[in-house]
């Protein structure tokens, strides 16, 4: 089943120099395992391919039902050097929530995941 | 020892809600008012102000904030901790005293002034002594931009603030302290936490991280269930109710808008986060993967379980340097084919700039309304009712950037059709002051605390 992250997670993003961070938080604690399993470092790097210049790092925070992604080279130089509207990476959060993942049907049913519209 | 200490946040950055400090001292009982004024490039703006007038160089909003909370400080014993001193904490203290004098206050203010963070006059000596102040992101030594440096400040930890409070200060003014130390230091002072009480110190840092952006943890900028967050016009700023064991509750005053919930706190916890296992501060390294959150009634979240470990022997240094000039111009194109028209205007503009040979380091065009923030992820926007072309350039030469600003308006008559939104006039040229993060050995930074009665 196809699941869109915006239906199972919320997020906030910010900056550190030319790196944007995106914290993705499961809307329900039991959905954290879906984030952990399917929203991988490679999947996120692929999602933002062509939009960021550097690598992606992923950190897990099971205590907060959250993942933290660092998107390096995402801010056109960052800070005051950047010419971007989103120079501080404030809305990379919802850009990540556009991602659609493929969850096996049995698992999606077990966790009552909403299907992507 | 107090059983519970209440620290309230009244300012999340320089430019935040002017009335929030007053609302925080009047809305309910608090022990400390914490005001965070300094973002990464704020110090360089203050440095420029100090160059023009040696009595400036601090966050002037703080004087008005102090005036509005003066009765609470003098009559109810609320203490204020603020990094409003910028590059001139002493002048900030003088201005607070002068303001108090003007309002008829004779005594009772004991202002602690923390200095020692300012390294601007010591840069050459430090480089000469083998401290390259290399850029943490690129590894380049500071010598590559030495002649363009405007300010250089080490991020100080909690110790000098604790010292000032210990000397009896009821207002503590610092320069470049870490945002989190402004919250942790009062807790450390009140509860007598030692320099190696890692878990408690880390808890104080986490409390600071949660409230340092003001209302961003109490309903502001909150994506979770945002439509249901009540009365943002009257949003309550956060406060922590901390206990000696390092546990604390985040809440806000009664009869205020916004919301404090596990979700609003979690969003703030992940904000500007790097490696969550190692949130590095001068006092302690906090492990964000140990944080436990639990609902503790309406608009109350209990935070517990936090673990800390010893810090490094370095301090972070924020250097600001001149990095050229930039300007951004915009034009709006309307349906039909708004995006296609804006894209043609972009090509025309690029060709004209190319012909002028202005030598920019960077040109960036974005199509606001189509894909400026989400890029190709936004999908097909060819049917958008209007699209704003947002065109920016950056380069070392002010004259070249000035020349660019004259190329926007002509497009209205000599470019693609259905164009509007140029009433703002020519784009403004801005000098860029850029941020250079570095590290320095703790041993070379000597802090000083003065008490002004």
Instruction: Encode pLDDT of B275-318 as tens digits.
Output: 999 999 999 999 999 999 999 999 999 999 999 999 999 999 99
- The DSSP line for B45-97 is HHHHHHHH-TT--S-THHHHHHHHHHHHHHHH--EEEE-TTTT-HHHHHHHHH
Instruction: Test A63 with B289 for CB contact under 8 angstroms.
Output: yes
Q: Which residues of B touch A11 (CB under 8 A)?
A: 223, 267
**Mean pLDDT of the B416-437 span:** 92
- Pairing assessment for the beta strands B5-11 and B32-35 based on DSSP bridges: parallel
- Token readout for B198 is 């890692």
Note whether residue A81 is domain-resident: yes
Q: What are phi and psi of B39, to 5 degrees?
A: -95, 180
Interface test with A, best of B273, B302, B325 (most A CBs within 10 A): B273
Q: Which residues of B touch A74 (CB under 8 A)?
A: none
- pLDDT for position B106: 79
Closest partner residue to B270 (CB to CB) among A12, A27, A79 is: A12
Instruction: Test B267 with A64 for CB contact under 8 angstroms.
Output: no
How much of chain B exceeds pLDDT 90, in percent? Answer: 95
Architecture of domain B323-435: 2-Layer Sandwich (3.30)
Q: Residues of CATH 3.30.70.100 domain(s) within chain B?
A: 323-435
Coil, helix or strand for A10?
strand
**Mean pLDDT of the B250-267 span:** 98
Burial zone of B222 (CB within 10 Å; 0-12 exposed, 13-18 middle, 19+ buried): buried
Note whether residue A117 is domain-resident: no
Instruction: Test A84 with B364 for CB contact under 8 angstroms.
Output: yes
- What is d(CA B231, CA B233) in angstroms, rounded to the nearest whole number? 5
The residues on A that touch B, with CB distances below 8 Å, are 10-18, 21, 23, 25, 27, 47, 50-51, 59-66, 68, 70, 76-81, 83-86, 91, 93-95, 98
Q: What are phi and psi of A44, to 5 degrees?
A: -70, -40
Range of the domain at A40: 2-110
Instruction: Test B368 with A85 for CB contact under 8 angstroms.
Output: yes
Helix axes B61-76, B89-102, angle to 10 degrees: 60
Instruction: Test A68 with B292 for CB contact under 8 angstroms.
Output: no
pLDDT tens digits along B127-160: 999 999 999 999 999 999 999 999 999 999 999 9
Nearest chain B residue (CA) to A83: B392
Q: What are phi and psi of B336, to 5 degrees?
A: -85, 155
Instruction: Test B291 with A63 for CB contact under 8 angstroms.
Output: yes
Q: Are B212 and B184 in contact (CB under 8 A)?
A: no
Instruction: Test A59 with B277 for CB contact under 8 angstroms.
Output: yes
User: Which stretches does DSSP call E strand in B200-313?
Assistant: 238-242, 248-252, 279-280, 285-287, 292-295, 301-304, 307-309
Q: For residues B42 and A94, which has the higher predicted lDDT (pLDDT)?
A: A94
pLDDT tens digits along B101-122: 999 887 899 999 999 999 999 9
**Mean pLDDT of the B254-270 span:** 98
Nearest chain B residue (CA) to A73: B137
Q: Are B311 and B281 in contact (CB under 8 A)?
A: yes
Q: Which has the closest alpha carbon to A88: B118, B167, B221?
A: B221
- What is d(CA B198, CA B283) in angstroms, rounded to the nearest whole number? 9
Q: Which has the closest alpha carbon to B329: B364, B357, B381?
A: B364
How much of chain B exceeds pLDDT 70, in percent? Answer: 100
- pLDDT for position B369: 98
Q: Please give the C-alpha separations between residue B111 and each of B13, B46, B318, in angstroms, as whole numbers.
A: 22, 21, 26
* Shortest alpha-carbon distance between residue A105 and chain B (Å): 26
Note whether residue A72 is domain-resident: yes
Q: Which residues of B touch A63 (CB under 8 A)?
A: 289-292, 305
User: What is the number of structural domains in chain A?
Assistant: 1
User: Which residues does A86 contact at the CB level (< 8 Å), separation at least 6?
Assistant: A75, A92, B372, B373
How far is C-alpha B117 from the chain's CA centre? Answer: 17
Q: Which has the closest alpha carbon to B317: B94, B72, B149, B187?
A: B149
pTM attached to this predicted model: 0.97
- Report the 10 Å Cβ neighbour count for B429: 17
Q: Which residues of A touch B326 (CB under 8 A)?
A: 83
Q: For residues B375 and B453, which has the higher predicted lDDT (pLDDT)?
A: B375
Q: Are B404 and B394 in contact (CB under 8 A)?
A: no
When the pLDDT of each residue in chain A is averaged and rounded to a whole number, the result is 97
* Shortest alpha-carbon distance between residue A85 and chain B (Å): 7
- Given a cut of 80, is residue B423 above it in pLDDT? no
């Amino acid at each position: 089943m196809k699941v869109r992250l915006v239906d199972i997670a919320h997020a906030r993003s910010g900056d550190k120099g030319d790196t944007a961070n995106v914290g993705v938080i499961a809307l329900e604690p039991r959905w954290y395992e879906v984030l952990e399993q399917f929203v991988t470092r490679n999947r996120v790097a692929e999602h933002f391919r062509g939009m960021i210049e550097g690598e992606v790092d992923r950190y897990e925070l099971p205590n907060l039902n959250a993942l933290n992604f660092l998107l390096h080279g995402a801010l056109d130089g960052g800070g005051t050097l950047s010419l971007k509207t989103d120079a501080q990476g404030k809305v990379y959060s919802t850009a990540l929530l556009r991602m659609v993942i493929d969850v096996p049907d049995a698992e999606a049913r077990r966790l009552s995941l909403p299907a992507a519209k | 020892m107090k059983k519970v200490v209440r620290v309230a946040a009244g300012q999340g950055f320089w430019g935040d809600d002017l009335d929030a400090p007053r609302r925080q001292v009047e809305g309910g009982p608090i022990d400390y008012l914490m005001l965070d004024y300094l973002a990464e490039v704020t110090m360089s703006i203050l440095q420029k102000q100090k160059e023009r007038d040696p009595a400036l160089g601090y966050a002037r909003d703080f004087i008005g904030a102090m005036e509005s909370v003066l009765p609470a400080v003098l009559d109810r014993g609320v203490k204020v901790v603020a990094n409003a001193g910028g590059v001139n904490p002493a002048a900030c203290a003088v201005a607070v005293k002068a303001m108090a004098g003007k309002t008829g206050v004779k005594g009772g203010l004991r202002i602690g002034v923390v200095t020692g963070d300012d390294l601007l006059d010591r840069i050459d000596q430090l480089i000469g002594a083998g401290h390259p102040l290399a850029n943490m992101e690129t590894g380049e030594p500071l010598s590559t931009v030495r002649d363009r440096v405007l300010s250089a400040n080490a991020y100080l930890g909690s110790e000098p603030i604790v010292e000032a409070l210990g000397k009896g200060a009821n207002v503590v003014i610092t320069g470049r302290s870490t945002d989190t130390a402004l919250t942790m230091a009062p807790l450390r002072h009140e509860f007598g936490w030692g320099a190696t009480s890692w878990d408690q110190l880390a808890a104080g840092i986490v409390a600071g991280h949660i409230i340092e952006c003001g209302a961003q943890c109490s309903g502001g900028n909150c994506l979770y269930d945002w439509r249901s967050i009540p009365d943002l016009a009257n949003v309550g700023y956060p406060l922590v109710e901390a206990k000696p064991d390092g546990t604390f509750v985040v809440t806000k005053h009664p009869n205020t808008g916004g919301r404090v919930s596990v979700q609003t706190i979690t969003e703030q916890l992940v904000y500007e986060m790097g490696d969550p296992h190692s949130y590095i501060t001068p006092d302690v390294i906090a492990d964000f993967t140990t944080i436990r959150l639990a609902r503790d009634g309406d608009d109350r979240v209990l935070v517990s379980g936090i673990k800390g470990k010893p810090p490094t022997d370095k301090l972070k240094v924020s250097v600001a340097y001149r990095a050229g000039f930039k300007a951004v111009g915009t034009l709006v194109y309307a349906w039909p084919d708004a995006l296609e028209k804006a894209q043609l205007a972009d090509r025309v503009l690029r060709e004209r700039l190319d012909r002028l040979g202005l030598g920019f380091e960077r040109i960036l065009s974005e199509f606001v309304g189509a894909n400026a923030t989400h890029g190709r992820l936004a999908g097909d926007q060819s049917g958008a009712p209007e699209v704003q072309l947002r065109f920016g350039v950056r380069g070392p030469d002010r004259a070249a950037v000035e020349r660019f600003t004259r190329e926007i308006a002509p497009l209205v008559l000599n470019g693609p059709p259905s164009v509007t939104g140029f009433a703002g006039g020519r784009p403004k040229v801005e000098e860029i002051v850029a941020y250079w993060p570095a590290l320095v050995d703790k041993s070379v930074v000597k802090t000083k605390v003065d008490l002004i009665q």
